[in-house]
Structure 1
Amino acid sequence: MRGIRITLIVAVVLAGLFVAADRAAVYFAENKAAEKIRASQGLAGTPDVSIKGFPFLTQIADNRLDEVDIKLDGITAGTGDRSVHVSSFDAQLHGVRIDSSFSSAVANRASGTAHLSYEDLSKAADPGITVAYGGKDNSAGNRVKVTGKVLLMGQPIQRSVVSTVTVVGGNTIRVHADEVPAQGIPGLEQKVREKTDFDRQISGLPKGIKLDKVVAKPDGVDITLTGSDVNLAG
């Protein structure tokens, strides 16, 4: 009986040591992966990387991680000749293939969200344009209010339009006015649309990530992200 008790104690101690070693390895790998992603993607800040699954060491032996969650606040994505501040970026990566040095990491599939405030979306629009929440409707909540001034025959005219915001081509946000109140003034609708309707391509996200859909909320715009064969490093 005493021998069985000693064996159990040894087993518990060894299990504890294994768990401690496993968690230490996870911590090291998360920090290394975060730094590699920051460097390869040219990010100003370091992302928060969380490697899921236990035990971690057996996943490393297979050069494959079940799930990796990435969170980053305050990144800047390109929009052609402009840039747009992305308030938050969260992604869940599944089936991540890695090498032993973390010099490359490719996820089989990915999903996530990105958030843009209306202030930052306004900055990505043409000068003098402001974008705000457009309220709820029956079209999946993707309405925004766009306000700006135009010159018509030398006279400044301000208009606010309710616009629908959509995703085009997997990499572009489109803002298009549902209707422009022209009040019978010739040429006014075209002038207003030249300012309030715009497309902005979002670049700089990890290769393989696509914009899926967008929803306007009171505090900003939420973009759903999807992807396959997402290249995070290397």
Structure 2
Amino acid sequence: MSARGAVIGVVVVVVVLGAGAVGADRWAAGETQDRAVDAIEQNLEGVVGTPSVDVGSFPFLTQIWAGSIDDVTGHVQGATLGGLDATDVDVEATGVSTSEPYTADHATVSATLPTASIEKVVADRTGFDLKVALVGDELKVSGSVLGLTLAAQIQPRVADGKLLVDITGLSLGGLKVDPSDIPGGGGSKLEGIDIPVDGLPEGLALTDATVTDEGLRITAEGDDVVLTAQS
């Protein structure tokens, strides 16, 4: 065989081996994505639709051999948190172990609580027929109490891992009042309303809540998060 033919032969072998390595890498990434989809469905309640997952780009096998996946991101159309419907659920986990017990060095879950979900909590807590709506960058509550029109602005906050909403302005019958002025102690029911956000993976705690055009965007984070996954 000529020198030129030998060189061509070596190139062909390298290309074939390289293609095989790429194929194996992509297969491993695909299998991991499928397992990540299963994990998301097990770690969140009432998942709507099939989660979309990204486990990173080539090369991927080196991460498997190292025993930890650098970054896993996922998106779910909807889920249930504490019995409340949530939409646009985003998941990000870094340093995800590839053997049991499955854990993530750090994980973040963000989701949007539509106004209908917040409205349900407000109605259950107060016993009043109140509506919650987005007006600009604020949440507004309106309805009828004791035959008078009630209107209020509420502001979300996170304290000790709990999601609370507080009144920042209240009027009854068109007049500004203090919550304590509402007869029968009804005003106290509007203060510090606790919105339950349960069903998050163990190790995650709420850290932020922001009013957006779609509702209330909440974020939960944690370190050394335990992930449930089928073997």
User: Which TM-score applies when normalising by structure 2?
Assistant: 0.82
Query: How many matched pairs?
Result: 216
Distance 1:213 1:36, change over 3 A: closer
Q: Is the 8 A contact 1:148 1:196 kept in 2?
A: no
1:54 counterpart SS class = coil
Q: Of residues 11, 17, 21 in structure 2, which corresponds to 1:14?
A: 17
Matched, 1:85 2:82: no
Give identity over the alignment, percent: 27
1:38-95 CA distance string (max 9 Å, x none): 23555445533321143222211222101111221211111xxxx2101121021111
- Whole-Å separation in 2 of the counterparts to 1:149 and 1:192: 13
Distance 1:18 1:75, change over 3 A: same
- Whole-Å separation in 2 of the counterparts to 1:192 and 1:225: 30
Q: Is the 8 A contact 2:70 2:95 kept in 1?
A: yes
- Whole-Å separation in 1 of the counterparts to 2:45 and 2:109: 20
| Residue equivalent to 1:211 | 206
Write the letter of the residue equivalent to 1:131.
V
- Whole-Å separation in 2 of the counterparts to 1:88 and 1:104: 28
Matched, 1:168 2:159: yes
Matched, 1:191 2:181: no
1:181 counterpart SS class = strand
Within-5 A mapping of 1:57-72 = 57-72=61-76
1:67 counterpart SS class = strand
- Whole-Å separation in 1 of the counterparts to 2:160 and 2:93: 22
Which structure 2 segments of 5+ residues have no match? Answer: none
Q: Is the 8 A contact 1:148 1:195 kept in 2?
A: no
- Whole-Å separation in 2 of the counterparts to 1:53 and 1:12: 20
- Whole-Å separation in 1 of the counterparts to 2:62 and 2:53: 19
Q: Is the 8 A contact 1:134 1:162 kept in 2?
A: no
After superposition, the CA RMSD in angstroms is 2.4
- Whole-Å separation in 2 of the counterparts to 1:58 and 1:133: 47
1:87 counterpart SS class = strand
Q: Is the 8 A contact 1:110 1:226 kept in 2?
A: yes
Q: Which moved more, 1:54-63 or 1:39-48?
A: 39-48
Shift >6 Å, 4+ stretches: none
Write the letter of the residue equivalent to 1:206.
P
Which structure 1 segments of 5+ residues have no match? Answer: 137-142
User: Which TM-score applies when normalising by structure 1?
Assistant: 0.81
